[in-house]
Amino acid sequence: MHDAVEVILAKRDGHGLSDSQIDWVVDAYTKGDVADEQMSALAMAILLNGMDRREISRWTAAMIASGERMDFGALSCPTADKHSTGGVGDKITLPLAPLVAACGVAVPQLSGRGLGHTGGTLDKLESIPGWRAALSNDEMMAQLESVGAVICAAGDGLAPADKKLYALRDVTGTVEAIPLIASSIMSKKIAEGTGALVLDVKVGSGAFMKDLGRAQELAETMVALGTDAGVHTVALLTDMSTPLGHTAGNACEVAESVDVLAGGGPADVVELTLALAREMLAGAGRSDVDPAEVLASGRAMDAWKEMIRAQGGDPDAPLPTARHTHDLVAPASGTLTRLDAMAVGMAAWRLGAGRARKEDPVQAGAGVVWHARPGDAVTEGQPLLTLHTDDEARFERALASLDGGFDIESEAAYEATPLVLGRVAP
């Protein structure tokens, strides 16, 4: 029998935790037998001293064992899922899920809500009139069989240990611990039961991981966890120094996603959607299908409309718009050489598109639209960004977060950063 202090001291002193210590502490914490302050101390010891591959793998397995596991084996087609570590303007799940479904691979996409400057997929979809995020497991299975794609909230039954630990990490300065980030993401994704998983690990100012080395370490850790659990897992490292597309905010990102499904949309959103689709299809054994052809055919748009209708939404209804807008104009003429993802994300959040606490409401119409991307020529006085909100009092703080958030240079030779910075496979 173990006790919490023994486990804390072992990790504090730099030792590896045994399988039985890990199994015991995760189970005891989930049941309430290990106190929050004790788990906080252990989380800090893990942050400072790390874990090896065996420990992280066992920790993840213990978190999965704390709840239910889903099984899609009864479906008539293979499954693949995508997880993004979060960014600004990251609406990729919206066009990606129906696209992959239209290619013959089912997508069970359990998504979350936004917190802080990163947007949440469920918040975006909830701006569609009637759409609902909460589905039972039976509803989810039926929709996967009939439509091929579902984007919904994870039920409380998946990795309840993670839910408890996630809230604790948030208030104890231990969010950055790679073993805890990796096991948090992967326990939910493995418990979800998908056959293949593609990770989109964001790097840059608007991402959780600011530098490539740390992002690479996180990607390698998560790919190893998936591989150890028997899930075909690949990660792409993608740039999040500049926000994706031309919009950040809930309804405006839905509109942009629909543009992509209609065969248009911003080039970077299309590029990343297709790159992730190819990886998902390869993982599910369907490399023979070209997602670019399926996107051009309109079949992905059909799948989108079916998916939205299946969850009570009206895909043809007008999307909500904000009551007030404000243009931020270019202060000079030249080339836009930088548009900082974090500055844009903070502005969208302050306009009402995001939340500071889990229970805060969000505005469907709030957000930021930018009219130029790095590399584009701009003219003094032209609208550079348009801010949207229902509450005019929010403009001042949003504008403050954009102060210093972009550069315009007269003689600049602009060099674009590639969108996909690297790939990690088993």
225 lies in the same domain as 328: no
30 in a domain, yes or no? yes
Note the pLDDT of residue 411.
79
Note the pLDDT of residue 113.
80
Q: Which of 82, 83, 113, 286 is catalytic?
A: 83
Q: Which of 82, 113, 124, 188 is catalytic?
A: 188
335 lies in the same domain as 202: no
Q: How far apart are CA 89 and CA 405, in angstroms?
A: 15
318 in a domain, yes or no? no
| End position of a domain, from candidates 287, 310, 333 | 310
Q: Spell out the residues 6+ positions from residue 115 whose beta carbon is closer than 8 angstroms to its own.
A: 354, 355, 358
Catalytic residue status for 326: no
205 lies in the same domain as 351: no
Note the pLDDT of residue 119.
77
Distance (Å) of CA 141 to CA 137, 249, 301, 318: 6, 30, 21, 29
Q: How far apart are CA 119 and CA 23, in angstroms?
A: 34
35, pLDDT greater than 90: yes
- Mean pLDDT (the chain) is 95
Residue whose entry in the numeric block shows the structure tokens 């490399």: 287
418 in a domain, yes or no? no
| End position of a domain, from candidates 242, 276, 310 | 310
Note the pLDDT of residue 338.
96
Catalytic residue status for 162: yes
What is the number of domains present in the chain? 3
276 lies in the same domain as 370: no
199 lies in the same domain as 250: yes
pLDDT band at 402 (very low <50, low <70, confident <90, very high): very high
341 in a domain, yes or no? yes
Amino acid identity for residue 392 in this structure? E
Give the model confidence (pLDDT) of 85-139 as tens digits: 999 999 999 999 999 999 999 999 998 887 677 778 999 999 999 999 999 999 9
Q: Residue 353 is part of which domain span?
A: 324-409
146 lies in the same domain as 243: yes
276 lies in the same domain as 337: no
Q: What is the CATH number of the domain that holds 355?
A: 3.90.1170.30
17, pLDDT greater than 90: yes
389 lies in the same domain as 365: yes
Share of the chain above pLDDT 70, in %: 99
157, pLDDT greater than 90: no
Mean pLDDT for the stretch of residues 18-25 = 97
96 in a domain, yes or no? yes
102 lies in the same domain as 243: yes
Mean pLDDT for the stretch of residues 164-175 = 87
Distance (Å) of CA 186 to CA 98, 155, 390, 403: 23, 16, 37, 37
Note the pLDDT of residue 166.
85
Mean pLDDT for the stretch of residues 320-337 = 97
DSSP H or E run through 191: helix 178-191
66 in a domain, yes or no? no
Q: Which of 57, 184, 241, 401 is catalytic?
A: 184
Q: What is the CATH number of the domain that holds 10?
A: 1.20.970.10
pTM summary value: 0.94
380 lies in the same domain as 305: no
Cα angle value 412/417/422 (rounded, 5°) = 165
Q: CA nearest 332: which of 381, 386, 383? A: 381
Q: Which of 81, 90, 123, 162 is catalytic?
A: 162
63 in a domain, yes or no? no
360, pLDDT greater than 90: no
Note the pLDDT of residue 236.
98
Note the pLDDT of residue 354.
87
293 lies in the same domain as 231: yes
56, pLDDT greater than 90: yes
Catalytic residue status for 287: no
Give the model confidence (pLDDT) of 236-293 as tens digits: 999 999 999 999 999 999 999 999 999 999 999 999 999 999 999 999 999 999 999 9
Mean pLDDT for the stretch of residues 343-365 = 90
Note the pLDDT of residue 176.
85
SS3 category, 408: strand
306 lies in the same domain as 328: no
Give the model confidence (pLDDT) of 172-205 as tens digits: 989 889 999 999 999 999 999 999 999 999 999 9
Q: Which of 58, 82, 91, 169 is catalytic?
A: 169
When mean pLDDT is compared across 57-66, 107-116, 156-165, the lowest value belongs to 107-116
Q: CA nearest 71: which of 148, 143, 137, 136? A: 137
89 in a domain, yes or no? yes
Q: What is the CATH number of the domain that holds 156?
A: 3.40.1030.10
